[in-house]
C-alpha cells in the first residue's frame, strides 16, 4: 500500500491511500484569483485588496485561511516556515476577512486581505508571505482499481503570494553571475550535458524574468532552441537554473547563448558559454 500527501500552492492537494492503478472521481474544485498580491502602502498606513475564491465542483467546500512564511532554495523551490519565522515575513501585518468561507457549487466569493504596515517599518526591504486557503471539510471520492473500489479523502488548497514593497524602493536588477558546464548527467529521460545559469537579484524589489536559450553548432552554424525558463526572485536571492542539452548533440563543439528578459523597463542581459559535448 502506498500513501501520498502533498502541498502545492495554486494546485489541488490530494490525500489518499491506494493499491494499484486507478482513476479518481472528485466532486469539487477550488480556485483563487489573483495568484499574487502586491502592497506598497506607506508605513503606518493600511492597504486592502481582494481575492476571489470559486468552487467549480458539484459539492460544497468550506475553506479556512492561513499564513506561512517562505523562501526559495538555490534551485528556486519554495521552502515553507511557520508564519513570522523569517525576518522577511509580513504575516503579522495581515488580516483576512472572513477567515472561514463556505462555497456552494458554482459559487464565487471575494475575501478581503488587509495589510496594516507598522509605523516603524521604514524602508527595511521587501516582505513576503503565503496566504493559503485550505478545504477543511473532507470529500469522499471513488477510485476504480481493477475490480476494487477505493475510497479517497480529497482536500483542495490554493496559495496566494503576498508581497510588501516600501514605496521608496524601485530598483530592479536581475543579472547572470555565472554560466557553468556541469558535465554529463543521467535522468529518467536519458543522458544530457548539463549547463547551469546562476541568476542574482541585486535590485531592491522582487522581480520576474524569462530565460531564453539557444545552442549553436560552432562548425555548421545549426541552431537549436530550448524551452524558456521562468524565474521569480526576491531581492538578494541567487538561483541556479539548469538547462539539459540532449545527447543527440554529442560529438559537437557548441556555443550556448542565454538571454535574461525581465521586462521592457530593464535591459536584456546576455551570457555566452562555449563547450564541447564529448561522446
In a domain, 179, yes or no: yes
Residues 113, 250, single domain; the answer is no
pLDDT at 18: 36
pLDDT tens figures, 95-106: 999 999 999 999
In a domain, 193, yes or no: yes
Nine-digit cell at 113?
Answer: 486581505
pLDDT at 141: 54
Find all residues with CB under 8 Å of 185, minimum gap 6, and list them.
191, 192, 193, 194, 244
Residues 60, 185, single domain; the answer is no
In a domain, 169, yes or no: no
What is the span of the domain harbouring residue 67? 2-164
Per-10-residue mean pLDDT of the chain, 279 residues long, equals: 37 38 53 96 95 94 96 95 97 97 96 96 88 84 54 79 95 96 95 97 95 97 96 96 96 98 90 95
For residues 164 and 126, is the Cβ–Cβ distance under 8 A?
Answer: yes
pLDDT at 144: 52
Residues 178, 160, single domain; the answer is no
Residue 230's nearest CA partner among 271, 187, 196, 261 is: 261
Residue 213's nearest CA partner among 258, 244, 253 is: 258
CA distances from 210 to 126, 182, 239, 263 (A): 21, 21, 13, 9
Among 164, 198, 220, which residue terminates a domain? Answer: 164
pLDDT tens figures, 112-135: 999 999 998 877 799 999 999 999
Where residue 40 sits, what CATH number does that domain have? 2.60.40.10
Amino acid at each position: 500500500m502506498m500513501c501520498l500527501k502533498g502541498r502545492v500552492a495554486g494546485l489541488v492537494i490530494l490525500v489518499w491511500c491506494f493499491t494499484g492503478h486507478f482513476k479518481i472521481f472528485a466532486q469539487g474544485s477550488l480556485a483563487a484569483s489573483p495568484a499574487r498580491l502586491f502592497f506598497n502602502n506607506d508605513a503606518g498606513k493600511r492597504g486592502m485588496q481582494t481575492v476571489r475564491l470559486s468552487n467549480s465542483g458539484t459539492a460544497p467546500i468550506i475553506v479556512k485561511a492561513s499564513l506561512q512564511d517562505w523562501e526559495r532554495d538555490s534551485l528556486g523551490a519554495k521552502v515553507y516556515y511557520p508564519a513570522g519565522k523569517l525576518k522577511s515575513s509580513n504575516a503579522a501585518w495581515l488580516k483576512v476577512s472572513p477567515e472561514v468561507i463556505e462555497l456552494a457549487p458554482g459559487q464565487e466569493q471575494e475575501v478581503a486581505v488587509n495589510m496594516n504596515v507598522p509605523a516603524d517599518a521604514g524602508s527595511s526591504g521587501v516582505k513576503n508571505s503565503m496566504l493559503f486557503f485550505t478545504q477543511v471539510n473532507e470529500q469522499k471520492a471513488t477510485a476504480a482499481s481493477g475490480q476494487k473500489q477505493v475510497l479517497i479523502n480529497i482536500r483542495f488548497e490554493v496559495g496566494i503570494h503576498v508581497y510588501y514593497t516600501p514605496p521608496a524602493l524601485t530598483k530592479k536588477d536581475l543579472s547572470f553571475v555565472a554560466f557553468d558546464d556541469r558535465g554529463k548527467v543521467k535522468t529518467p529521460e536519458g543522458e544530457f550535458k548539463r549547463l547551469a545559469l546562476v541568476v542574482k537579484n541585486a535590485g531592491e524589489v522582487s522581480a520576474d524574468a524569462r530565460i531564453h536559450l539557444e545552442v549553436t553548432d560552432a562548425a555548421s552554424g545549426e541552431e537549436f532552441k530550448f524551452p524558456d525558463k521562468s524565474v521569480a526572485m526576491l531581492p538578494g536571492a541567487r538561483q541556479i537554473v539548469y538547462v539539459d542539452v540532449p545527447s543527440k548533440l554529442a560529438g559537437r563543439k557548441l556555443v550556448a547563448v542565454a538571454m535574461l528578459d525581465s521586462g521592457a523597463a530593464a535591459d536584456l542581459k546576455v551570457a555566452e558559454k562555449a563547450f564541447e559535448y564529448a561522446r
